[in-house]
């Protein structure tokens, strides 16, 4: 199985290529759109492992959601600030990783780092954009960040790693779901980035299931890029139904 660094690097490279493809396809280049596509592809690249028990993915996903979601909820045209928020998020995490304890990749100290970064970003941006409502909004941001900390680990508890979430239909459903949640001109591209990043992850896991040194297949070969979980037929069927429903709804037939 590919490790976390491989997934982050792989999804990053695919994300850059995806930005290139979008420009080639006629999407006007702006840092906001490029940032959005990079962020969604990167997020997709770590999404399938978020239910892994010792996963850094969960911490990273909670981190990026904590830093961006409160702003998306409370600031008008918040998508316009993502181009600043995402680099700020990355830099702050890099800086805090130099601090003893806060350098941990998982566990309570990693979560503390997530909270510090999310609050710092949230409070600064609200102060800059809505100073008159700073007090009210900052309390809401605090509540949102805390809720995200609680909600996602619960999600992790109720899913099985390499179960339904680590499949092609789950990544299609994630993209379709994102498409329905977002609005704006480039939501199809953003949704496509999430699915593309997820498929990149599954492909990397499959590639790393090959033992290159003696050209043998490891036992995990064939389990990463799955469209169906044989031990969870009902769940697999439900997932495909969900995919179809989200896509139909996205197209506007439903």
Query: What's the rounded Cα separation, in Å, for the pair 245 and 178?
Result: 13
Between residues 145 and 202, which has the closer beta carbon with respect to Zn ion? 202
Q: How far is the CB of 213 from Zn ion (least distance, A)?
A: 21
Q: How far is the CB of 169 from Zn ion (least distance, A)?
A: 15
Where in 191-210 is the site for Zn ion (CB under 5 A)? 205
Residue whose CB is less far from Zn ion, 121 or 194 = 194
Contact between 60 and Zn ion per CB under 5 A: no
- Of the candidates 168, 186, 187, 185, the residue with the CA atom closest to the CA atom of residue 177: 187
- If the CB atoms of residues 79 and 205 are measured against Zn ion, the closer one turns out to be 205
3-class secondary structure, 155: helix
Determine contact, residues 83/31, Cβ cutoff 8 Å: yes
**Total number of residues binding Zn ion (CB under 5 A)?**
3
Closer residue to Zn ion (CB): 1 or 188: 1
Q: Closest CB to Zn ion among 74 and 165?
A: 165
Q: Which stretch binds Zn ion (CB under 5 A): 16-24, 43-51, 56-64, 133-141?
A: 43-51
By CB under 5 A, which span of 8-16, 47-55, 67-75, 85-93 interacts with Zn ion?
47-55
Q: How far is CA 8 from CA 41, 43, 131, in A?
A: 10, 9, 36
Q: How far is the CB of 55 from Zn ion (least distance, A)?
A: 9
Q: What is the DSSP letter of 79?
A: H
Among residues 201, 199, 154, the alpha carbon closest in space to that of 173 is found at 199
Stretch in the footprint of Zn ion (CB under 5 A) among 29-37, 48-56, 61-69, 99-107: 48-56
Q: Which is nearer to Zn ion, 81 or 196 (CB)?
A: 196
Token pair listed for 215 = 């050209």
Contact between 49 and Zn ion by CB under 5 A: the answer reads yes
Going by C-alpha positions, the residue among 54, 153, 42, 63 that lies closest to residue 116 is 63
Residue 48 CB, nearest approach to Zn ion (Å): 5
Distance of CA 24 to the CA centre of its chain: 25
Give contact residues for Zn ion (rule: CB under 5 A): 48-49, 205
């Amino acid at each position: 199985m590919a490790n976390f660094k491989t997934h982050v690097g792989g999804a990053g490279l695919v994300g850059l290529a995806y930005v290139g493809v979008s420009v080639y396809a006629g999407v006007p280049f702006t840092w906001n759109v490029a940032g959005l596509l990079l962020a969604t592809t990167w997020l997709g690249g770590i999404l399938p492992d978020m239910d892994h028990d010792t996963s850094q993915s969960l911490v990273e996903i909670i981190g990026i959601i904590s830093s961006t979601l409160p702003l998306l909820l409370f600031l008008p045209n918040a998508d316009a600030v993502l181009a600043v928020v995402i680099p700020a998020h990355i830099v702050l995490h890099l800086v805090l990783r130099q601090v003893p304890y806060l350098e941990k990749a998982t566990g309570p100290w990693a979560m503390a780092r997530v909270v510090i970064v999310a609050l710092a970003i949230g409070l600064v941006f609200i102060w800059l954009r809505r100073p008159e409502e700073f007090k009210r909004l900052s309390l809401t941001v605090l509540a949102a960040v805390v809720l995200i900390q609680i909600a996602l680990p619960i999600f992790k508890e109720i899913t099985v790693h390499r179960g339904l979430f680590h499949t092609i239909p789950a990544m299609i459903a994630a993209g379709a779901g994102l498409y329905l949640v977002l609005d704006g001109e480039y939501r199809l591209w953003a949704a496509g980035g999430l699915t593309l990043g997820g498929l990149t992850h599954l492909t990397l896991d499959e590639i790393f299931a090959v033992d290159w040194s003696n050209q043998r297949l490891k036992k995990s070969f064939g389990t990463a890029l799955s469209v169906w979980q044989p031990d969870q037929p009902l769940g697999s069927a439900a997932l495909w139904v969900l995919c179809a429903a989200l896509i139909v709804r996205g197209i506007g037939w439903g």
